[in-house]
């Protein structure tokens, strides 16, 4: 055989072996390595665009994750027209296993976007090794300090590593920690088929969770899971099976504009009317004065001119009667202002955003109870904590897919003081691995 021909054959066979290599031959990545790489992709969502997803960075990140899922050997990998990634890790249960064809299909979800409130561009992660307590000063902006008094869960992580940004951006643990947790758990399951038995696992990485729009495009029928979990929580051991009921109230005022030099008894200043509305909101039911299961009214967007002004506010409460009370407060103030300013046009619009997912999760307690058992097997004490906010799981649960939320170890989301405990991330992965086994075991009891 000619030498050139021989070498060409060797090269061809080598390339063929690489292209057909088992996922087990690919190098392992730690959860921290994945996380550090993920947060450097800018996926900040944008509430002011009409595109889906709201930013190109999410599409870019989705393609990266789809490629990694393919490398791991998952099936049915798809990025839909909205940028939502879905894939399947098929069951490894033998045909004679008593749970074969009986174990429910379990879903794992995390969202790709980061908060629009703080920049997610050029994130520079910093690993604080062997944390020994005390406040953490961020090196890129020393005015940014993670204070123990504001972050009491730091006490759980003495002697372990803490990841932050350098203080000039957010970190992106919300929710790239969840993505890193899921991807690392999948890697472990693929590498160790004899150690972990599981049914079909569906995976999805979603879009625009932070602006509350992306989950509307999620195809539950295509996902085809019987129960699911968002991996998007905070402190170790935490399960969230409750969210606020959520509505948005919008007050629009149209006044009358005229040159201010000739405005007496003619001008109706819409800015003053909107200001009066805000001033009459009870201060004790604001976010800064409430906690735990206390609801609030939160004016969070304001714009206007003399002629037209608008204020948007969040209405939040865990209970229906509490939500009714807050809506009544807003309606009463609007009616008062209509009487006081008869020449103005004052409109009120109330939009429902999502409802407390516990209403539906209580109908199938297995989903939460199995998560508790998985956390116990990870050596932690599970605790239920209501989310003072919303998740994709709230809407999915309302739409028929029970989806509580499981911790990642991240804290202080939506801020430059955001941080991630590596131990919490590792326990999140361990919980996922336990969880898929619990579902198998419980299916044969």
CATH code assigned at 284 = 3.30.70.360
Number of domains the chain contains: 2
In a domain? residue 326: yes
| Digit-coded pLDDT (tens) for 48-74 | 899 999 999 999 999 999 999 999 999
Averaged pLDDT for residues 301-308: 96
Q: Put residue 83 in one of left, alpha, beta given phi > 0 → left and psi -120 to 50 → alpha.
A: left
Residues 277, 188, single domain; the answer is no
In a domain? residue 18: no
In a domain? residue 259: yes
Residues 104, 153, single domain; the answer is yes
Residues 49, 174, single domain; the answer is yes
Residues 250, 194, single domain; the answer is no
pTM: predicted TM-score of the whole model, two decimal places: 0.87
Q: Is the pLDDT of residue 25 over 90?
A: no
In a domain? residue 101: yes
Q: Which of 332, 354, 376 is the last residue of a domain?
A: 354
CA-only gyration radius of the chain, Å: 25
Of 42, 68, 113, 437, the active-site residue reads 113
Averaged pLDDT for residues 422-443: 98
Q: Is the pLDDT of residue 24 over 50?
A: no
CA 255 – CA 273 distance, rounded (Å): 9
Return phi, psi of residue 404, to 5°: -75, 180
Spell out a b/e string for 188-221, using b for 16 or more CB atoms within 10 Å of the CB, else e.
bbbeeeeebbbbbbbbbbbbbbbbbbbbebbeee
Averaged pLDDT for residues 379-394: 92
Q: Is the pLDDT of residue 16 over 70?
A: no
Of 322, 303, 190, give the one whose Cα is nearest residue 253: 303
Q: Is the pLDDT of residue 5 over 70?
A: no
Residues 220, 250, single domain; the answer is no
Q: Specify whether 209 is catalytic.
A: yes
Of 111, 347, 358, 121, give the one whose Cα is nearest residue 217: 111
Work out the pLDDT band at 27, boundaries 50, 70, 90. low
In a domain? residue 10: no
Q: Which of 300, 333, 354 is the last residue of a domain?
A: 354
Q: Is the pLDDT of residue 1 over 70?
A: no
CA 149 – CA 144 distance, rounded (Å): 14
Of 175, 209, 210, 430, the active-site residue reads 209
Question: How buried is 145 (Cβ within 10 angstroms: 0-12 exposed, 13-18 middle, 19+ buried)?
Answer: middle
CA 210 – CA 190 distance, rounded (Å): 31
Residues 60, 180, single domain; the answer is yes
Q: Are 297 and 329 in contact (CB under 8 A)?
A: yes
Work out the pLDDT band at 330, boundaries 50, 70, 90. very high
In a domain? residue 21: no
In order of 20, 84, 219, 225, the CA distances from 90 in angstroms are 19, 20, 19, 12
Q: Specify whether 317 is catalytic.
A: no
Residues 238, 348, single domain; the answer is no
CATH code, 54: 3.40.630.10
CB atoms < 10 A from the CB of 102, how many? Answer: 12
Residues 162, 200, single domain; the answer is yes
Q: Is the pLDDT of residue 18 over 60?
A: no
| Digit-coded pLDDT (tens) for 118-159 | 999 999 999 999 999 999 999 999 999 999 999 999 999 999
Residues 336, 363, single domain; the answer is no
Domain of 312?
Answer: 245-354
Residues 326, 273, single domain; the answer is yes
Q: Which of 354, 384, 402 is the last residue of a domain?
A: 354
Q: Is the pLDDT of residue 21 over 60?
A: no
Per-residue pLDDT at 272: 97
Residues 182, 302, single domain; the answer is no
In a domain? residue 20: no
Q: Put residue 172 in one of left, alpha, beta given phi > 0 → left and psi -120 to 50 → alpha.
A: left
| Digit-coded pLDDT (tens) for 67-116 | 999 999 999 999 999 999 999 999 999 999 999 989 999 999 999 999 99
In a domain? residue 71: yes
Residues 251, 218, single domain; the answer is no
Residue count of the chain, please give it: 445
Per-residue pLDDT at 337: 98
CA 413 – CA 234 distance, rounded (Å): 9
Taking the CA atoms of residue 381, residue 370, residue 316 and residue 172 in that order, the dihedral angle to the nearest 10 degrees is: 70
């Amino acid at each position: 055989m000619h030498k050139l021909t021989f070498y060409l054959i060797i090269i061809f066979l080598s390339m063929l072996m690489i292209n057909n290599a088992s996922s087990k031959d690919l190098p392992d990545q730690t959860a921290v390595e994945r996380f550090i790489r993920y947060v450097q992709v800018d996926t900040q969502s944008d509430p002011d665009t009409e595109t889906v997803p709201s930013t190109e960075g999410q599409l870019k990140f989705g393609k990266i994750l789809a490629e990694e899922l393919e490398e791991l050997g998952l099936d049915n990998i798809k990025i839909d027209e909205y940028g939502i990634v879905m894939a399947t890790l098929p069951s490894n249960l033998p045909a004679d296993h008593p749970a074969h064809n009986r174990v429910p299909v379990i879903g794992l979800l995390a969202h790709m976007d980061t908060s629009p409130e703080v920049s997610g561009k050029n994130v520079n992660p910093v690993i604080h090794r062997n944390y020994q307590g005390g406040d953490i000063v961020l090196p890129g902006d020393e005015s940014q300090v993670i204070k123990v008094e504001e972050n009491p869960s730091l006490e759980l992580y003495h002697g372990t590593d803490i990841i932050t940004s350098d203080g000039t951006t957010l970190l992106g643990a919300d929710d790239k920690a969840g993505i890193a947790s899921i991807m690392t758990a999948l890697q472990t399951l693929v590498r160790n088929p004899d150690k972990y038995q599981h049914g079909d696992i569906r995976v999805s990485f979603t879009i625009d969770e932070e602006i509350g729009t992306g989950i509307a495009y999620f195809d539950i029928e295509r996902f085809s899971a019987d129960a699911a979990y968002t991996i998007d929580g905070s402190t170790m051991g935490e399960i969230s099976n409750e969210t606020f009921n959520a509505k948005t109230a919008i007050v629009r005022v149209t006044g009358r504009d005229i040159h201010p030099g000739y405005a007496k008894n003619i001008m109706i200043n819409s800015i003053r009317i909107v200001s009066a509305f805000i001033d009459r909101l009870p201060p004790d039911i604001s976010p800064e004065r409430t906690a735990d299961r206390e609801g609030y009214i939160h004016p969070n967007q304001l714009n206007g001119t003399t002629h037209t002004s608008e204020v948007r506010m969040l209405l939040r409460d865990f209970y229906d009667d509490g939500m009714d009370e807050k809506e009544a407060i807003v309606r009463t103030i609007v009616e008062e202002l209509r009487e006081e300013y008869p020449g103005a046009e004052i409109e009120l619009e109330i939009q429902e955003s999502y409802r407390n997912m516990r209403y539906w999760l209580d109908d199938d307690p297995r989903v939460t109870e199995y998560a508790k058992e998985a956390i116990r097997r990870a050596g932690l004490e599970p605790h239920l904590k209501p989310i003072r906010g919303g998740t994709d799981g709230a809407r999915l649960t309302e739409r028929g897919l029970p989806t509580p939320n499981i911790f990642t170890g991240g804290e202080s989301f939506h801020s430059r003081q955001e941080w991630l405990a590596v131990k919490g991330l590792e326990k999140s992965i361990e919980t996922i691995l336990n969880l898929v086994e619990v579902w198998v075991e419980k299916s044969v009891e």
